[in-house]
Structure 1
């Protein structure tokens, strides 16, 4: 049995977290491991989950308040040794430059499109496996 990948999902919106789970499904692509989710609605919860370890990918909602996913991404990239890759949910395509500033490895726009999201998540899972992380 293939091990699962753990995906942290950060959003203050329960509907957004649900959309992420549904878009990814149990396995976002046939050639990547099944996924399980750790849901966080606050920055302290994100930091605690990352400190505990075992997170393979972070999905951060750039529209979360009061601390948006872009700021969280930049912070964890600065503070977490071997920070997991980040998939950022952005409000509009024009915000892609902010995703680059935050050092996210990938970005998709709200609302969550299942095909686009699953493809981006699978790409991060593949690249993580390729580097042996």
Structure 2
């Protein structure tokens, strides 16, 4: 499965990559991580297809992941699930506004990131599995 990680902060992208590892949970397929540092790169890569999960940093600048999530959900046909990284736990309402499928607050807990990603990847795998399997 392919996971796109967006943040303007290389350290945040690295923390997400380390939290995901090669497999965020034992029952989830291996993941390949694609990193993006700019919103246009995210839009372009998402339009190209082949992504199973987007992890978008709500604290990114100049384009935050929450607004980007809402844009992608509006513009991309069958947009992959999106996990947003919010500035704080109380920003859950912003994640709901953005139409994110999941949210984890900064500071990032690797266990919480992996668990949230695994849940969304499981659901994605179940939706895309061929009938009869």
User: Which TM-score applies when normalising by structure 2?
Assistant: 0.95
| Secondary structure, counterpart of 1:131 in structure 2 | helix
The 8 Å contact of residues 23 and 112 in structure 1, kept in 2 or not, is answered as no
Give CA deviations for 1:20-44 in whole Å, capped at 9, x if unaligned. Answer: 0001111000000111111111111
Trace 1:1-133 onto structure 2 (pairs within 5 A). 5-132=1-128
Runs of 4+ aligned structure 1 residues displaced above 4 Å come to: none
Q: Shift in Å at residue 18 of structure 1?
A: 0.1
Give CA deviations for 1:65-106 in whole Å, capped at 9, x if unaligned. Answer: 111000000000000000000000001011000000000000
* Structure 1 residue runs without a partner (length 5+): none
Q: Shift in Å at residue 111 of structure 1?
A: 1.6
Cα distance between partner residues in 2 of 1:129 and 1:7: 13
Q: Shift in Å at residue 8 of structure 1?
A: 0.5
| Secondary structure, counterpart of 1:123 in structure 2 | helix
* Structure 2 residue runs without a partner (length 5+): none
Cα distance between partner residues in 1 of 2:73 and 2:63: 15
Q: How many pairs are equivalent?
A: 129
Root-mean-square deviation (CA, aligned residues, Å) is: 0.8
| Secondary structure, counterpart of 1:8 in structure 2 | strand
